[in-house]
Amino acid sequence: RPHSRPRHPGARTMLPLLLLLLPTAHAIVELTYTPVLTQTPPLEGLTTTSTFVLDQPRCVFGGYDNADIWLVVALDKAASTFNNTAEPGTLETSFQGFPDPVSAYMTLNATLANYPCPKPAGDITVLRVGSETSCAKDETRPTCNGPLPGPGPYRVKFLALQGSEPVAETKWSDPIMLRTAKSPNSISTTDSGHSAGMIAITTILSILFAILLAGLVAMLVFWGSESCGGSSTFSKPESVTVRRYNTHHVYDQPAARL
Amino acid sequence: MAKSDDCVHILQGLLVFGNVVIGMCGIALTAECIYFVSNPHGLYPLLKATENNDIYAAAWIGIFVGLALFALSILGIIGVIKASRTLLLVYIILMLITFAFEMASCITAATHRDSLTPSFFLKQMLERYQKSETANNSDNEVTKTWDELMLQNHCCGVQGPSDWQEYTSAFRLTHSDADYPWPRKCCVLDAQGLPVNLDGCKLGVPGYYNSNGCYDAISGPVNTHAWGVAWFGFAILCWTFCVLLGTMFYWSRIEY
């Protein structure tokens, strides 16, 4: 088959021929795997404001037992211009220089032994990009997995290096956007409506109070006036009234009053 | 005469009964408001921190109104039995003053309950929880209250842990996002108070962190408090209204 790229990574006899062709052709295998954010189990912290969580590349780099598998994190716009020959641990790919002037850094060094295949069922196999805060400012640790400096978007891919030669890579992931945090001043607390209960209480009580005040006023205005007295007045049980008087025997008064 | 006497006695009986009920309800109102003021759910610091503790003011008014209702009901009973115009006039005027205070208490409790929305608690939590270099005590109280709340009710934030991600906060200023996507109290803790699985908590793996918000745990007691004061007070006032109308009618019929 007239193809300059070998289909079988294990075909080591092809390697010397490939090395000759290196200046004119891509020597590394592009695997069909695309790095993705973890879908199962559903994670609350899948993307935060400075980290995100990827699935580990299990059963992807089969046969590359001696290779170092690196994660390349790049700005979305710089993904297409990333050079696979870039070496990890140098200034050009250091995390501390990201995003300016470094536009793609390499981190999370691992070997195939870290990603055994097949994945045991029930295990959560993830990579949290951005979890190392202790080395974020440490220039002596250029491969630090430090927290991402902005919301992105970012693209990632896995790159397998043998020695310092890239031998395999995955596809670039879809752009990953991180969360952006708003200021709490944007929360509006003044817009709470009034519930039906509160309106009912206010109106009914106001009406009742108004009626009572009117009644009190009526009482005071008609105090002393007999116009409402009328037919059904009743007398107090013990105190003296001057209503009925008897010109005759005083001793009969008590009996007559009752 | 006999019919008028019967009417008198019936009216007197009704008024005495009405006043007895008012007296008992006054005692009940006092007891209920004392219970609320004693802060059984520990939420008072959250309300005090933003000077929005009018629900507590309403409960305090309720205590004194309840005692006043009890005292006035006794005065009313005496006035009705003695059929004394002055006593009953004093009773009516004092009752109207008490009515006005209780009305204020009910409306205050209901209005301020309406202002205690999730946004209100969210904003307060983001601005005050774990605020460092704080000079005043109320922020420490807010932090302690929230910690207690999240521990007791196995909840996180107001609507969920994503509150800490969606908004910047005083907490975020001192705790980096990568190490503390949300406070440690949101993690499932073991007997010593340490997270069972810190990585699981930071990732947000179900089972290692508390995924539901605390708003239900807050709004439950606050609602009970506010509606307890407001609706019970409203019921007492409706009853008092009827008794007062009857008393006014009785007063106008007394000979002097």
Q: A39: which chain B residues are within 8 Å (Cβ-Cβ)? A: none
Instruction: Give the confidence band of A238 by pLDDT, cuts at 50, 70, 90.
Output: low
More confident residue, A258 or B87: B87
Whether A195 and B203 lie within 8 Å, measured CB to CB: no
Instruction: Give the confidence band of B165 by pLDDT, cuts at 50, 70, 90.
Output: very high
CA angle B121, B126, B132 (to 5 degrees): 130
Whether A234 and B4 lie within 8 Å, measured CB to CB: yes
Same domain for B230 and B195: no
Same domain for B64 and B21: yes
Q: Residue A207: pLDDT above 80? A: yes
Best of B156, B202, B223 to disrupt the A interface by mutation (most A CBs within 10 Å)?
Answer: B202
Same domain for B109 and B137: no
CA distance A12 to chain B (A): 41
Q: Give me B81's structure tokens.
A: 């039995």
Q: Residue B121: pLDDT above 80? A: yes
Nearest CA in chain A to B182: A45
Nearest CA in chain A to B176: A133
Same domain for B87 and B132: no
CA angle B84, B90, B94 (to 5 degrees): 145
Q: What is the pLDDT of residue A248?
A: 61
Q: Residue B28: pLDDT above 90? A: yes
Q: A215: which chain B residues are within 8 Å (Cβ-Cβ)? A: 244-245, 248
What is the domain-level CATH number for residue B196? 1.10.1450
CA–CA separation, B75 and B81 (whole Å): 10
Closest Cβ opposite residue A184 in set B113, B115, B126: B126
Q: A194: which chain B residues are within 8 Å (Cβ-Cβ)? A: 111, 114
Q: B122: which chain A residues are within 8 Å (Cβ-Cβ)? A: 184, 187
Least confident of A80-89, A208-217, A223-232, B67-76: A223-232
Q: Give me the sheet containing A29-30, strands edge to edge.
A: A29-30, A165-169, A154-162, A68-75, A104-111
Q: What is the pLDDT of residue B98?
A: 95
Same domain for B182 and B96: no
Same domain for B111 and B233: yes
Same domain for B51 and B104: yes
More confident residue, B94 or A244: B94
Q: What is the pLDDT of residue B27?
A: 95
Q: What is the pLDDT of residue A8?
A: 55
Q: B180: which chain A residues are within 8 Å (Cβ-Cβ)? A: none
Whether B110 and A195 lie within 8 Å, measured CB to CB: yes
**Spacing of C-alpha B203 from chain mean position:** 39
Same domain for B148 and B89: no
For strand A126-129 and strand A165-169, is the pairing parallel, antiparallel, or unpaired? unpaired
Mean pLDDT of chain A: 80
CA distance A180 to chain B (A): 7
Same domain for B101 and B128: no
Phi, psi of B137 (to 5 degrees): -75, -25
Report CA-CA distances (Å) from A114 to A34, A111, A153, A168, A191.
19, 6, 28, 17, 54
First to last CA, chain A: 134
Best of A43, A178, A182, A205 to disrupt the B interface by mutation (most B CBs within 10 Å)?
Answer: A205
Q: What is the pLDDT of residue A41?
A: 86
Whether B254 and A222 lie within 8 Å, measured CB to CB: no
- CB atoms under 10 Å from CB of A221, counted, come to 9
The ipTM estimated for the assembled molecules is 0.83
CA distance B38 to chain A (A): 24
Instruction: Give the confidence band of A26 by pLDDT, cuts at 50, 70, 90.
Output: very low
Closest Cβ opposite residue B241 in set A212, A228, A235: A212
Whether A53 and B203 lie within 8 Å, measured CB to CB: yes
Quote the number of domains for chain B.
2
**Which of A188-192, B40-44, B131-135 has the highest mean predicted lDDT (pLDDT)?**
B40-44
Q: B115: which chain A residues are within 8 Å (Cβ-Cβ)? A: 189, 192
Closest Cβ opposite residue B110 in set A126, A201, A213: A201
Q: A183: which chain B residues are within 8 Å (Cβ-Cβ)? A: 167-168
More confident residue, A74 or A252: A74
CA distance B59 to chain A (A): 16
- Could you tell me the residue ranges of all domains in chain A? 26-180
Whether A189 and B117 lie within 8 Å, measured CB to CB: yes
pLDDT in tens, A119-154: 888 788 899 999 989 988 888 888 899 999 988 899
Same domain for B64 and B79: yes
Q: In 3-state terms, what secondary structure has residue A7?
A: coil
Closest Cβ opposite residue A212 in set B4, B99, B177: B99
Residue B172 domain boundaries: 118-214
Q: What is the mean pLDDT of residues A89-106?
A: 87
Q: Residue A93: pLDDT above 60? A: yes
Q: Residue B14: pLDDT above 90? A: yes
Report CA-CA distances (Å) from A244 to A148, A225, B2.
103, 19, 19
Residue with tokens 């062709």: A21
The answer to whether the beta carbons of residues A8 and A168 sit under 8 Å apart is: no
Same domain for B124 and B112: no
Q: A181: which chain B residues are within 8 Å (Cβ-Cβ)? A: 165-168, 172
Q: Residue A18: pLDDT above 80? A: no
Same domain for B101 and B10: yes
Q: B251: which chain A residues are within 8 Å (Cβ-Cβ)? A: 219
The topology under which CATH files domain A26-180 is Immunoglobulin-like (2.60.40)
Q: Residue A1: pLDDT above 80? A: no
